[in-house]
Amino acid sequence: MFRALFRLLILFIVLVAVGGYFLGNWLTWGHVLSISAALKAARAPLFSLEVPRSLLFLLAIGVTGLGLRPLVDFIRAVRGGSTDRTVLLLTPAWLALANLGYLAAIAAKGSRETYNWYFTLTVFSGAYLLPAYLEHYGGEWAGLSRRALARWGLAVCLALLAISARSKLTSPSFFVGHYDRAMTLASFPEDSLVLAATDCGILGYFSRQRVINLDGLTNSWDFQEALAEDRLAGWLTDRSVSAYVSPPAPESGIALLTARAGLSSAPQTIRLHVEPMRDASPASGGIAVWQVTGIE
């Protein structure tokens, strides 16, 4: 009886989670799949198995490995009819299974676009799996007391945080350049400009202007249709793209914009005819705002 109820509960949770995902996509995008998920899957090769150079990747592998022992013990408890043991290991086993499935999906359809930050979800699950593992198996594995294990675990986490923070602070970041351009655009009245750009999250958030995403990840399905039918210039014209921010600076009044590959289309480059709206100052790092007079 317990096994039947447990299976029904798991099935219900899965149906609610999966059904809620597809319903949310339909309400947001008018499609059962989110545009970002469909695009990244379309751009990635099947089983590229490229190993990313990422601290998050290494942490994700470690966290997933921690969940294997509780998962195996959970299966044994279910088969042996041990109700108390099954309930105790339910959450770590569920997280372990989810992490395995998640990493398998990334391996099957992963690329540079889905690496690094996409391992964050798995790493976050370590906040539960690591203490649970130390609680159930730590003393047996390391021969240390729970207090000593907790201290060592905290020290390792702090060391990893310090390494990550140091790499971010000492490495140059494109975020700074995007932020400076966004602040220049923010000097114009809010929502007075319409731009199109790739990697435009910072630009769109801080500029307080409307920015059309040429990556396609936060755009619409009709944008993908425009790419596939080679009518991107007209699509952007219909949406009143009115400004361009440099760098890169236009040449002879022409600025180039490139939209990334779509679901069934190659990258496309369009030409913007521009004229100065606000010239760059010596202290601005070459940042200038241009008015778009035509798109082709």
Q: How confident is the model at residue 283 (pLDDT cuts 50, 70, 90)?
A: very low
- Closest C-alpha to 197, from 178, 212, 176: 212
CA 67, 68, 73, 76 dihedral sign is positive
User: To the nearest whole number, what is the mean pLDDT of the chain?
Assistant: 79
Q: How confident is the model at residue 1 (pLDDT cuts 50, 70, 90)?
A: low
Q: What ranges do the domains of the chain cover? A: 45-170, 174-295
Residue 282, pLDDT score: 45
Token code pair at residue 270: 């369009």
Residue 8 or residue 239, greater confidence: 239
The DSSP line for 226-264 is HHHTT-HHHHHHHTT--EEEESSPPBTTEEEEEEPP-SS
- pTM equals 0.65
Angstrom distances, CA of residue 183 to CA of 6, 150, 202, 278: 54, 45, 10, 13
- Determine the residue type at 289: V
